[in-house]
Structure 1
Amino acid sequence: MAVPSLTHVFNVYVMISVPSGMGPGNEHASLTVLNGESGYVETADGSTRLEITSISDWMELGAGKTTATVDARMSSKGPGDLNLDMHYLGKFSLSDGTNEVFGGTPGSSFDFNEEYLYVTPRIWSRSSQFAWVNDAVFLSVGRAKCLETGTQAEISYKIYKVG
């Protein structure tokens, strides 16, 4: 059986405030909500850029867990009628590296494939240029870095079309 091919189609860049006190849930709840402040989606070749208009991640960070569950929604708009809406589910490891970035350690980072950060985006578009996304399956790998101020983090994804 052949392995499905992956074609790099989009890059996503999101800035978030590093939440104070973000950490594992407790006996009452495991839900942590992160709201993105700004960002953009661009085609892999950089020819088209869409600004993110809204993004939030309702992740689960359970006490004693080794991974966090990502459940994010995002909308973006470009020139004319261009748009992309995404819902992505996935996991990231709760390791020393990810805890440093999301805990606000200035300058900390991890690159693609250095930590376990994978999501499966479902993507929709109402524009003719991106209508093809409505019938495709995607896989994404992520990286993150905490800015030198320790108050913001940049999360980036490479999105691949499967098949």
Structure 2
Amino acid sequence: MPELIKELEYRAELGEVDEVGSGPFGQRVIANVTGGEVTGDRLKGTIVGAGADWLLIGPDGFGRLDVRVTVKTVDGAFIYVHLNGLLEMTAGVTAVIQGGDTPTNFGEQYFFTNPRMETGDERYSWVNQTMFIGEGRLVPGLAVEYRVYRIANS
């Protein structure tokens, strides 16, 4: 059985949420990522440049995440992060998105992602050959926090 090893925590601050509306694939919502940070023993940095969360909410009550950001490490490397995921659109999740002041908790809703990272910097080349899984929650202000684990052989 594979082993999950905690690799880092990731916090993305979200700006204004644009409600594109219901289209042929569901309700599209776009949130620009305005900042954030990554903290872990092997990887620390801040979210820089352009980034967004393109959320597609289906009639089944789940949102399909498509998030893309760039992390600049504390020692100057750039790492592209692309994550897909599944978010159960519970009343608590919807309340935070609409400006509520009560955070959701990890495990309170089905909220998992599979971050993919890539870089050309040799110091972090290990991210190019590593599978990750993240568990998420929403916090007021509006931000998303993830606990990210790497998948390792047992």
1:50 and 1:83 in contact (8 A); partners too: no
1:122/1:28 CA distance change after superposition, 3 Å: closer
Task: Say whether 1:33 aligns with 2:30.
Answer: yes
Name the CA distance, whole Å, in 1 between partners of 2:102 and 2:131.
32
The one-letter code of the counterpart of 2:2 is P
Structure with the largest fraction of strand: 2
TM-score (norm 1): 0.82
SS in structure 1 of the partner of residue 22 of structure 2: coil
Name the CA distance, whole Å, in 1 between partners of 2:149 and 2:2.
11
Aligned length: 151
SS in structure 1 of the partner of residue 96 of structure 2: helix
Name the CA distance, whole Å, in 2 between partners of 1:66 and 1:29.
10
Could you tell me which runs of 5 or more consecutive residues in structure 2 were left unpaired when the two chains were aligned.
none
Task: Say whether 1:78 aligns with 2:76.
Answer: no
SS in structure 2 of the partner of residue 91 of structure 1: strand
Where does residue 99 of structure 1 map in the other structure?
94
1:81 and 1:127 in contact (8 A); partners too: no
Could you tell me which runs of 5 or more consecutive residues in structure 1 were left unpaired when the two chains were aligned.
147-151
Where does residue 161 of structure 1 map in the other structure?
150
Identity percentage of aligned residues: 21
1:50-129 correspondence to structure 2 within 5 Å: 50-53=45-48, 54-62=50-58, 64-105=59-100, 107-129=101-123
TM-aligned CA deviation for residue 74 of structure 1:
0.9
TM-score (norm 2): 0.87
SS in structure 2 of the partner of residue 19 of structure 1: strand
Q: Relative to structure 2, which stretch is displaced further, 129-138 or 74-83? A: 74-83
